[in-house]
Amino acid sequence: MLVKICGITTKEAAETAVQSGADFIGFVFAPSKRKITPVAAATISKSLPSSIKKVGVFVNESLENIQQIAMQVGLDYIQLHGDESPEFAEKLAYPIIKAFPMESDTIKEISKFPCDYYLLDSPIGANRGGNGTTFDWKLLTETNLNLSKVILAGGLNADNVQEAIAKARPSGVDVSSGVESDGQKDIAKIKEFINTAKGKG
């Protein structure tokens, strides 16, 4: 099971994710309480092994800014979390993770999007993603999506991630607020989530 820890803002949280076996870490470059500057993300990125994939999260950002930040930080994946078109995604010379709110009227649009992974999140709240709420995981069984391309997000934590994996059967899971205490990444929660998701805990 692939695990992505998103909203990383400190070297300590990033290193804990790496040591615990995370596959991806996410830097948010969009309006969010977890937003990080490219300079700070680049500093953290340089300390990480090449085995962990670094993901930049963008919402309706310009092509030029995405490309500049990706090079500066050393990103491996671009996560598009806004209203970006398939044509926009195809212009980026990076593997793409495209986030979709899991609603019945968006399901049919998902499979048309050119990307390496579909990140299926809870319906849109105050920000695009990171709202800490779940959706009905059984909705995935009603789609014809290639589950090997699905990363499940939205309200996951160590208490519900095994149930989510069993019901949705995704390739990976993504967590942000579910490994936080008082709005900050919690080292113990990061370890517990990764161990649980990977069946080690």
Domain that holds residue 17: 2-197
- Token pair in block for residue 20: 């615990």
pLDDT at 170: 94
Mean confidence (pLDDT) of the chain: 91
Q: Is the pLDDT of residue 30 over 60?
A: yes
Per-residue pLDDT tens for 56-84?
999 999 999 999 999 999 999 999 999 99
Q: How many residues does the chain have?
A: 201
Report pLDDT for 5.
98
- The pTM score is 0.93
CATH of residue 108's domain is 3.20.20.70
Q: How many domains does the chain have?
A: 1
Examine the pLDDT at 128 and tell me if it is beyond 90.
Answer: no
pLDDT at position 124: 65
d(CA 14, CA 178): 15
Specify the amino acid at residue 184. Answer: Q
Give pLDDT, residue 171. 96
pLDDT tens digits, residue range 91-120? 999 999 999 988 767 777 788 899 999 999
- Please work out, in degrees rounded to the nearest 5, the angle formed at the alpha carbon of residue 85 by the alpha carbons of 87 and 128: 150
Q: In the structure, what pLDDT confidence band is assigned to residue 123 with cuts at 50, 70 and 90?
A: confident
∠ CA 97-199-160, nearest 5°, is: 70
Range 174-180 average pLDDT:
96
